[in-house]
Structure 1
Amino acid sequence: MEEFIHRYGEEHGLPFEVESFSDGSQIVERDASRFDIILLDIEMPGMNGMEAAHKLRAADADVVLVFVTNMAQYAIRGYEVGALDFVLKPINYYTFSVRFERAIHRAQKRESGQVLLNLPDAVKRISTREIYYVEVQNRMLHYHTEEGEFVLRGTMQQAEQQLERYHFVRCNHWYLVNLRHVTEVRRDTVIVAGQELEISRRNRTAFLTALTNYVGGDR
């Protein structure tokens, strides 16, 4: 698999750092968040892949898990830990590359960054993952986040340029939504972190397309 990963990287111009572990207990002792994709063999000495997956998922809700096994019956159990996919043995490069590309697409959705908010009395650094949505009112931007609401002067165009690469999309003129935090779409509204925001007719198609690609574009 390590050879396949580097071969895929050479073909697509993507450098990868690869670490190998011979037992499930070895990987769960590491910080799961430092990995983008974890390929887990089901059968390993000591802690098996399924046990390791439960512990990894408890430590990191987003890390991409892909099982490698010759036992297809584990596919159903994979839903317990949010496994993205399975690679069945014996492994060939074509099958592996298809599954690996899907894992890369999912991993890219984890990407986050840091932005600086120039507040009236301070400069606040915040992770884009912690921002639920941005609202504009009277030329003031309201950042609704896990830590609360932060208000600063600015335009929606500036916020959009800063956050677009992190999967923020407008649902109407006044709101820029982090697709990561969308939990439900109703007829003309979207639920973001428990708040119901209107989807305008003008933005509806683009917003729903972006959301569909975000949720299912790795399939």
Structure 2
Amino acid sequence: MNIAICDDEQQDIDILYNYCKSCKLPYNISTFLSASALLEAFKSQFYDLIFLDIEMDKPNGFEIGSILAGYSPRPVIVFTTNALQYAVRGYGIAFRFLCKPITITMFQSVVREALDEILPQKATVMCGSTQKMISINDVIYFESLNRHIIFHFANTSTLEIKDSMENMISVFSYPSFVQIHRSYCINLNYVDSFTPLAVTMTDGCKIPLSRKKQTIFQERFNNLIRGTIK
């Protein structure tokens, strides 16, 4: 799981960073001293959980939080603040608020609630003899090649495992994933454009669209546009 901590006070960043480490869960933690730096990083790296300070110089936490909340998939945002009166303004953006000074008990409680929100968006695959947890939000598409599955991620990395397309379709039985060819299953959130013959993903890859899959692809994509699936 990818976590971002954004605060213009290094001391406050260090507190949350150490709290994250104390939880002893498989986190990748990134820290940012400005909201603009976080937003720039988010363009190439999805963060499942973001701890975002409200009272920063322009742009402030509210402004960046509003932008991040508009992304699909949407990160879980926890605002940190010295004054809880900001909570009313942040309603609809934040998953939770943490009022400074933040204690380890407060932090752990919010993380547990956030995990309940985030973990259903994870899929477990076998990588050799090891179980590996994949964030479905990070997968652009996966393909079947020579009895292997190759995952292509938003950060341009790939993961190859020995498995079948049939099994992976059952593992990734989420509304945003649709098989458009016998060898390809895509995440609709990363579709850039399409024709009757191919779908172009946001990473530039052009994936063949089989005739038999055109109807289901069009239906599911239209549902995504209307906001009826996530």
| TM-score, normalisation: structure 2 | 0.50
Whose helix proportion is higher, 1 or 2?
1
Change in Cα spacing, 1:69 to 1:123, as seen in structure 2 (3 Å) is same
CA shift at 1:144, angstroms?
Answer: 8.1
Structure 2 counterparts to residues 119-130 of structure 1, below 5 A? 122-127=182-187
- Structure 1 pair 122/80, CA: closer, same or farther in 2 (3 Å)? closer
Q: Do the aligned residues in 1 keep the contact of 2:80 with 2:97 (CA within 8 Å)? A: yes
Measured against aligned partners, the alpha-carbon deviations of 1:8-31 in whole angstroms (never above 9, x if no partner) come to 1x2xxx121111111111111122
Match of 2:195 in 1: none
Q: CA deviation at 1:65?
A: 0.3
* Residue aligned with 1:30, SS: helix
Paired amino acid for 2:35: G
Q: How does 1:20-39 map to 2 (within 5 A)?
A: 20-31=31-42, 34-39=46-51
Structure 2 unaligned segments of length 5 or more: list them. Answer: 1-15, 123-135, 144-164, 167-178, 191-212
Structure 1 runs, 4 residues or longer, greater than 4 Å off: 113-119, 142-146
Structure 1 SS opposite 2:77 = strand
The answer to whether the 8 Å contact 1:115/1:128 transfers is no
1:148–1:20 distance in 2 versus 1, CA, 3 Å: same
The amino acid across from 2:80 in the alignment is: V
Q: Does 1:80 align with 2:101?
A: no
What percentage of aligned pairs have identical amino acids? 26
Q: CA 1:60–1:127 in 2, change beyond 3 Å: closer, same or farther?
A: closer
Structure 1 CA distance for aligned equivalents of residues 73 and 27 of structure 2: 22
CA contact (8 A) 2:51 2:80 kept: yes
Q: Report SS of the residue matched to 1:18.
A: strand
Q: Find the aligned partners of 2:214 and 2:185 in 1 and give their Cα distance.
A: 12
Q: Distance in 1 between matches of 2:65 and 2:183?
A: 39
CA RMSD, 1 decimal: 3.6
Paired with 2:214 and 2:85, the residues of 1 have a C-alpha distance of 45
Q: Is residue 147 from structure 1 mapped to residue 218 from structure 2 by the alignment?
A: yes
In the TM superposition, residue 45 of structure 1 has moved relative to its aligned partner by: 2.6
